[in-house]
Amino acid sequence: MAKKALCIGINDYPGTQSDLTGCVNDAHDWAGILEARQFEVHKLLDAQATKAEMERAIGGLIAGAKPGDTLVITYSGHGTWVPDTSGDEADGRDEGLCPHDIRTSGALLDDEIHALFSQRRERVRILLLSDSCHSGSVIRGDESDLDEGGPRARFLPLEAWMPADQLPRGILRPGALFGGLARVGGELLLAGCMDTEYSWDTQFHGRPNGAFTYYAIKTLKNLPSDATYEQWYRKIRDYLPSTRLPQNPQIMGSAQARRFRIFQ
């Protein structure tokens, strides 16, 4: 049984005035965690993470997996949305990941990701960890690791990347990634926030990271080797949401998948 992972981190979004700081660190951090657990890891960072390359890497990872294999895909970068044209979205939006070349290629939409995930064979486990996206306001959580200064939302509004003559009419509502990715067909999704919130790009002890990624890794290091995804999720919720990081991490998958041992 093979264990393979793809870690995507994008700080650089040319022409959008919306660069981030912690996403490449997130990808390196996830890669280190997964390599220590005997995963074969491939990374796509900044300019490597074009839409075409993201599609190729995700599709190849899934298409090549055999029954019994475990796949992990981590994504740190902006999330966005476009108006739904197929009528399959209750909120009228298709959510998507933002590749490095989004201004020329467009977003990698949830419908496109679903098509890639549909190649999954039976008994192939897929975990998708998404640290992107939209804001709630709950005051709790331990912020002792968080540096002073304002976090930045990992959401890229349409006007930052879409030509003005293509923008939809009316109010451009913020959008999130969780709702769309929850339907792409993976076995388990861990996301940084609810569909009505943002995930935050910030700094801990002088080093940029995504808040969800930072606390996911921090709590993972203190869990027993037989811990489940559900137990991990509950530990992350000890830290998020907090006063300056008003995001509620989410877990979606079957009861059976939530009880799987982490990265097994």
Q: Reading across the β-sheet that carries 200-204, which strands appear in turn?
A: 152-153, 200-204, 207-210
Residue in 7, 23, 133, 193 annotated catalytic: 133
Give residue 140's pLDDT.
Answer: 37
Number of residues in the chain: 264
Task: Report the distance separating Cα 249 and Cα 216, nearest Å.
Answer: 10
Give residue 147's pLDDT.
Answer: 52
Tell me the average pLDDT across 184-213. 84
Task: Report the distance separating Cα 234 and Cα 237, nearest Å.
Answer: 5
**Backbone dihedral angles phi then psi of residue 28, each to the nearest 5 degrees:** -65, -40
Across-strand partners of 75? 8, 130
User: Amino acid identity, residue 205?
Assistant: H
Answer yes or no: is pLDDT of 173 > 60.
Answer: no
Active site residue 42: no
Residue in 7, 23, 78, 100 annotated catalytic: 78
Give residue 141's pLDDT.
Answer: 38
pLDDT tens figures, 219-234? 999 999 999 999 999 9
Of the two residues 173 and 60, the one the predictor is more confident about is: 60
**Residue 110 burial (CB count, 10 A):** 25
Active site residue 78: yes
Task: Report the distance separating Cα 15 and Cα 45, nearest Å.
Answer: 17
**In order of start, what are the domains of the chain with their CATH numbers?**
3-258 (3.40.50.1460)
What pTM, to 2 d.p., does this model score?
0.84
